[in-house]
């Protein structure tokens, strides 16, 4: 990558009959620094890239001479690791991905990342809507529509069936499974929708179809979810106990932690999460310590909640080599919020 950027800078400089010294003066760096860029020894400081692109009249992407695949990957990384994408970056990314969605070679990946880009934009606006809706409610405590904004943005639980059923999505996944019946993971998404709508009899049918394809801890997981939806909590707990006995696997313990947290059995949830984190092989995900932090916060143990957030940051650095960006910042913001509660 260093060589590609350096070669591009050299090409653009020579096309304009500029010396390394002249370019250095324009950018307030030494000719030696420019020489190192062009030889691929070093990269320009990231803060200089916009200035270089303006100077030569090219985009930053052109400066990097990215392939279509690498640019798609770059957009995906931006979606994952930027809190709010700028209007310019969003529009440029959207235009590029639409073009590549029509090209056979990049169609599948570009279409997926375009969907991720739209989902990211929706989550950004939901965050803004929630924050602004709360302000509106504080200004007018009797304004029902402010509650609606907050609930819509934060996926709050409405009781209105017309607003909360998943009929369209269920029909899509049923049709999808008719065409791809050997895809076990798809059954999970369908069963989640069916159970949330109270259609447990249908969920059981698809559960056994999934189990025929692949028997895993998920069989007991969903048998328990169905039993709980049918108001048989004891049966649900038995299935979840059997789940971790048969499959002593980090993900089964993490799922059990989620289930215990939703039952407000917080001490059990923490124990499950701790075991999951202990047996999970690297690279470990940040979901588990993040969930532990939320549980500790609900319990009023803010020191412990902060400790778990710091653990998430540690995993970012040790297991994923991530030292900045939204993956880190989301936990830093949570730590500051938790400190204010102490």
Asked whether the beta carbons of 152 and 129 are under 8 A apart, the reply is yes
Whether the Cβ atoms of residue 53 and residue 63 lie closer than 8 Å to each other: yes
Query: What was the pLDDT predicted at 73?
Result: 82
What DSSP assignment string belongs to 121-186? HHHHHHHHHHHHHHHHHHH-TT-HHHHHHHHHHTT-----HHHH--HHHHHHHHHHHHH-TT-HHH
227/17 Cα distance (integer angstroms): 75
Number of domains comprising the chain: 3
What the block records as the tokens of 114 is 């375009």
Residues contacting 329, CB < 8 A, separation 6+ = 83
Size of the chain in residues? 342
- State which residues form the domain around 338: 282-342
90 and 52 inside one domain = no
Would you say 308 and 292 are in contact if contact means Cβ atoms under 8 Å apart?
Answer: yes
Residue 66 has pLDDT above 70, yes or no: no
Residues 26 and 91 in one domain: no
**pTM, rounded to two decimals:** 0.80
CATH of the domain at 29: 1.10.260.40
What is the rounded CA–CA span in Å between residue 177 and residue 175?
Answer: 5
Residue owning tokens 């880190």: 328
Does the residue 141 lie in any domain?
yes
Tell me the CA distances in angstroms from 103 to 106, 107, 115, 178, one per residue in order.
6, 5, 16, 28
223 in any annotated domain: no
Which of 67 and 11 is assigned the larger pLDDT?
11
pLDDT digits (tens, 9 = 90+) for 107-166: 999 999 999 999 999 999 999 999 999 999 999 999 999 999 999 999 999 999 999 999
Regarding whether 140 and 76 lie in a shared domain, the answer is yes
- Confidence label for 65 from pLDDT (cuts 50, 70 and 90): low
Interatomic CA distance for residues 42 and 61, integer angstroms: 18
Task: DSSP letter for 49, please.
Answer: H
- DSSP state at residue 46: G
**Left (φ > 0), alpha (ψ -120 to 50) or beta: where does 301 sit?**
beta
Q: Is residue 287 part of a domain?
A: yes
Per the domain annotation, does 265 fall within a domain? no
211 touches 202 (CB < 8 A): no
pLDDT band at 319 (very low <50, low <70, confident <90, very high): very high
Looking at the structure, do residues 117 and 135 belong to the same domain, yes or no? yes
- Kindly state the tokens that stand for 80: 């994952």
Residues near 39 by beta carbon (within 8 Å), at least 6 away in sequence = 6
Confidence class for position 303, pLDDT limits 50, 70, 90: very high
Short-list 150, 199, 154, CA closest to 174: 199
**How far is it, in rounded angstroms, from Cα 47 to Cα 241?**
53
For the residues 298-305, what does the mean pLDDT come to? 97
pLDDT value at residue 201: 98
Say if residue 57 is in the same domain as residue 82. no
Do residues 41 and 108 share a domain?
A: no
Task: Report yes or no on 274 lying in a domain.
Answer: no
What is the average pLDDT across 51-68? 80
Of 48, 64, 80, the residue that ends a domain is 64
20 and 47 in a common domain: yes
Q: Which of 64, 85, 113 is the last residue of a domain?
A: 64
List, for residues 164-198, the tens digit of each pLDDT value.
999 999 999 999 999 999 999 999 999 999 999 99
What are the tens digits of pLDDT across the range 5-52? 787 888 888 888 899 999 999 999 998 888 888 877 778 888 888 889
Which pLDDT does position 2 carry in this prediction? 52
Residues 120, 136: one domain? Answer: yes
89 and 16 in a common domain: no
- Per residue in 24-33, pLDDT (tens digit) is 999 999 988 8
Question: Which segments of 16-43 does DSSP mark as H helices, in order?
Answer: 20-27, 31-39
Q: Tell me, yes or no, whether 27 lies in a domain.
A: yes
Q: For residue range 232-272, what is the model confidence (pLDDT) as tens digits?
A: 999 999 999 999 999 999 999 999 999 999 999 999 999 99
Q: Please say which residue of 115, 142, 161 terminates a domain.
A: 161
Whether residues 101 and 22 fall in one domain = no
Cα dihedral angle (299, 301, 302, 304), rounded to 10 degrees?
Answer: -120
What pLDDT, on a 0 to 100 scale, did the predictor assign at position 235? Answer: 98
Mean pLDDT of 93-107: 95
The answer on 326 and 307 residing in a single domain is: yes
Q: Is residue 195 in a domain?
A: no
Are 72 and 52 in a shared domain?
no
Residue 242 lies in a domain: no
């Amino acid at each position: 990558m260093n060589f590609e950027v350096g070669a591009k800078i050299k090409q653009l400089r020579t096309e304009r009959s500029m010396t390394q010294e002249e370019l250095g003066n324009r950018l307030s760096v030494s000719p030696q620094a420019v020489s190192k860029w062009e030889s691929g020894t070093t990269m320009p400081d990231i803060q200089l890239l916009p200035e270089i692109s303006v100077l030569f009249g090219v985009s930053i992407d052109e400066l990097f001479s990215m392939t279509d695949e690498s640019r798609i990957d770059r957009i995906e990384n931006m979606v994952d690791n930027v809190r709010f994408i700028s209007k310019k970056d969003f529009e440029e990314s959207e235009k590029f991905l639409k073009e590549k969605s029509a090209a056979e070679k990049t169609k599948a990946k570009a279409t997926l990342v375009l969907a991720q880009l739209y989902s990211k934009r929706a989550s950004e606006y939901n965050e803004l809507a929630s924050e602004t809706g709360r302000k509106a409610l504080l200004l007018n405590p009797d304004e029902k529509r402010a509650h609606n904004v907050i609930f819509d943005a934060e996926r709050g639980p409405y009781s209105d069936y017309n607003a909360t059923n998943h009929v369209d999505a269920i029909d899509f996944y049923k049709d999808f499974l008719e065409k791809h019946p050997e895809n076990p993971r798809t059954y999970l998404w369908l069963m989640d929708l069916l159970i949330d709508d109270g259609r447990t009899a249908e969920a059981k049918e698809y559960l056994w179809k999934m189990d025929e394809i692949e028997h895993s801890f998920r069989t007991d997981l969903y048998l328990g979810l169905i039993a709980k939806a049918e108001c048989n909590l004891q049966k649900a707990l038995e299935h979840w106990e059997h789940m971790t006995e048969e499959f002593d696997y980090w993900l089964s313990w993490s799922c059990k932690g989620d289930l215990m947290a939703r039952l407000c059995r917080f001490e059990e949830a923490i124990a499950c999460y701790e075991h999951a984190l202990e047996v999970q092989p690297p690279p470990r995900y940040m979901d588990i310590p993040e969930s532990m932090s939320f549980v500790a916060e609900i319990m009023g143990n803010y020191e412990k909640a902060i400790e778990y957030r710091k653990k998430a940051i540690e995993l970012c650095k040790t297991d994923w080599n991530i030292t900045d960006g939204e993956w880190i910042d989301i936990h830093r913001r949570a730590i500051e919020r938790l400190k204010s509660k102490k």
